[in-house]
Amino acid sequence: MSTRDDLCTEDEIKTLVYSFYDRIRVDEVLGPIFNGHIKDWNMHLDRMVRFWSSLMRGTGTYHGTPMPVHVALPDLSAELFQRWLTLFHDTVQELPNRPFAERAEQFAHRIARSLWFGYQFHNYPDRSPTEVFSG
């Protein structure tokens, strides 16, 4: 049985993060949103490597609270989170380490759902929240 320590390497985390955000930055829908809010891509990528390393490898190198940043963004929608997940899926499909890819995709779905629920609760407290994927 594998543990988080041997699920993937730090280099595999970097490959995932950099490949994913390469897709995000040029995406016709998400690119303008991310490029408009991220002023220092090197710092953001480093933060995301630490975030995913903490999730996937248990390194504990990420210290932050992503929810407040995301709930403050204007005009988010389930469709934007769906697109984010599609780009993430496309990225992990190219990873040769399949257990790592599958686990990362599971985390991505949980993250998208959590951020979307948090966004709705914060911005529309009188509405019932909707799922990222309905049905």
pLDDT per position as a tens digit, 20-53: 999 999 999 999 999 999 999 999 999 999 999 9
Sketch out the chain's domains with CATH numbers.
Answer: 9-123 (1.10.490.10)
Choose among 79, 80, 101, 104: nearest CA to 31.
80
Helices (H), 1-135: 4-7, 10-26, 30-37, 41-57, 66-71, 78-93, 98-123
pTM score of the predicted model = 0.92
CA angle 50, 85, 1 (to 5 degrees): 60
At residue 6, the pLDDT reads 82
Count the Cβ atoms, other than its own, within 10 Å of residue 49.
Answer: 20
C-alpha 78/C-alpha 104 separation (Å) is 20
Indicate the Cα dihedral angle 134, 53, 15, 7, nearest 10°.
-90
pLDDT value of position 23:
98
Model confidence band, residue 134 (pLDDT cutoffs 50, 70, 90):
low
Q: Give pLDDT, residue 2.
A: 46
List Cβ<8 Å contacts ≥24 apart for 120-128: 122/71, 123/71
At residue 5, the pLDDT reads 62
What pLDDT, on the 0 to 100 scale, is given for residue 135?
A: 47
Residues 6 or more apart whose CB falls under 8 angstroms from that of 102 comprise 92
Identify the CA nearest to 117 among candidates 125, 86, 65: 125
Residue 133 pLDDT = 79
Q: What is the mean pLDDT of residues 48-63?
A: 95
- Per residue in 92-127, pLDDT tens? 999 999 999 999 999 999 999 999 999 999 999 999
pLDDT at position 3 over 90: no
